[in-house]
Amino acid sequence: MESRGSADGERKTITTLFADLKGSTALIEGLDPEDARAIIDPALQIMMDAVHRYDGYVAQALGDGIFALFGAPIAHEDHPQRALYAALRMQDEMRGYSDQLRLKGNAPLHMRAGINTGEVVVRSIRKDDLHTDYVPIGHSTNLAARMEQLANPGSIVVTEQTHKLTDGYFEFKDLGKTPIKGVEEPLNVYEVTGVGPLRTRLQVSARRGLTRFVGRHRELDQLYRALQQAKEGHGQIVGVMGEPGFQLQAEFGAIVCGLAKVGQGQPEEGFAQLRQGLAGYRSVGAEISLTFFLASLIGAYEQVGQPEDGLPVVAETLERVEKTGERYCEAELYRLKGELTLQESKVESQRSLAEEEAEACFRKAIEIAQKQQAKSWELRATTSLARLWREQGKREEARELLAPVYGWFTEGFDTADLRDAKALLTELSEGR
């Protein structure tokens, strides 16, 4: 059928897969063509179904094999992974089909596959029947065919380029440098042995080593303020952007939902969601802002009066601060430690020691906040210390401590922290 028209070629990075049946010629030798087709066609269908399952495109069926593309014409960023998943599925399905052939007295079929990722020019050619063929042109396609020829029956062989893009998502066996027909220098090739332990880009990046997260105090402060406003009933919308697969958005959302449920009087359900969000964040090996999230969990324990659960997390988080240098929440951590210490001292004989320890924590929090020029943290810690002094009868000292910190603020007076500070100042000023 003659070509009706063709579009200009488009340069793309795609993953090419060649797969065929090893030994099919000997298997069908002497068979009637219809009988041979009855054996080969189901095997080809297995291959094509696997390609389609992962949004690949079968460019050609080649007698006892196929030539498939991933990443064009349907674009996917993860086209290398999709090609490998498809190849592994072909293997699994082919084993089951071979078992059926054995039961019927036929020799089993073994599939092999070769895969490469690289740049090609993709042309779309429209036929008279309105069908469009997508044809890739480039050395990358030839390399995939060479990988197939290198593969032993039942194996999948990939180039170094595909290996780099999928290592971690899959397990590989290094086959070393191998001479390739048509290529001057030997190339590193790898055999795919199965699915790996990692599933997301962040997990893979974490295994290779994440770049340390620094200098995001302003952004974290925005998240914290939005969280506080939401807890007080003022709806907030926060946009967090990151690369596909970056889980900060999802885990932060789970943590916020957990905090909201704790605030609504559903502590059991809320803490379960908080722990789930933190576990999901840690499961990918992420360290970004984990201190901030842990401080949120500690704050929830302080809110519902569970010092026995909160204090161990405080110790763990302060240890992380020293290890990572992520000190954004350090002042708040010491303030929370002081509040939880006071909550823990239920016996009167222990109260005096607890108050001494709590005061030391509040003073430490104020000192850190002042060094960081973090006025919000300073206001919180100062309010906690002023409240303790009020209970100890030192009302004037408490007022003199809190008044100048509260007076620094010129806006945000509807927030919980400033409302609490104002109420305490009003109480301390009465009867002067």
**Cis, peptide link before residue 197, omega less than 30° from 0:** no
Coil vs helix vs strand at 101: helix
Domain containing 258 — which CATH number?
A: 1.25.40.10
Q: Is residue 138 within 8 Å of 19, Cβ to Cβ?
A: no
Residue 189 CA to residue 152 CA, distance in Å, equals: 13
Task: Say if 204 falls within a structural domain.
Answer: no
Q: What pLDDT, on a 0 to 100 scale, did the predictor assign at position 157?
A: 97
- Domain identity same for 192 and 217: no
Residue 432 confidence (pLDDT): 59
Q: Is residue 52 part of a domain?
A: yes
**Count: domains in the chain:** 2
Mark whether 232 and 279 lie in a shared domain.
Answer: yes
pTM comes to: 0.54
Q: Which residues have a Cβ under 8 Å from the Cβ of 428 and sit 6 or more positions away?
A: 386, 390, 395, 396, 398, 399, 402
Query: Quick one: 316 and 383 in the same domain?
Result: yes
3-state secondary structure of 104: coil
The Cα 305–Cα 175 span in angstroms is: 59
Q: Has residue 149 been placed in a domain?
A: yes
Please tell me the distance from the alpha carbon of residue 44 to that of residue 39, in angstroms, as a whole number: 9
Do 50 and 90 lie in a common domain? Answer: yes
Instruction: State the residue range of the domain holding 190.
Output: 3-197
CATH number of the domain to which 34 belongs: 3.30.70.1230
Same domain flag for 342 and 418: yes
Instruction: Quote the CA–CA distance of 113 and 365 in Å, as a whole number.
Output: 62
Walk along the chain (432 residues) and give the pLDDT tens digit of each residue: 344 444 567 889 999 999 999 867 666 776 788 888 888 899 999 999 999 999 999 999 888 899 999 998 888 999 999 999 999 999 999 999 988 988 888 778 889 999 999 999 988 766 555 556 778 889 999 999 999 999 999 999 999 999 999 998 999 999 999 999 889 899 999 999 999 887 777 667 666 655 555 555 566 667 667 776 766 667 777 776 655 545 555 666 777 778 778 877 888 888 888 888 777 766 655 565 678 788 888 988 998 899 999 999 999 999 988 988 888 889 999 999 999 999 988 666 678 899 999 999 999 999 999 998 889 899 999 999 999 999 999 999 999 999 999 999 988 788 888 999 999 999 998 855
Question: Is 202 within a domain?
Answer: no
pLDDT of residue 378: 95
DSSP structure class, residue 287 = -
Task: List beta partners, residue 178.
Answer: 187
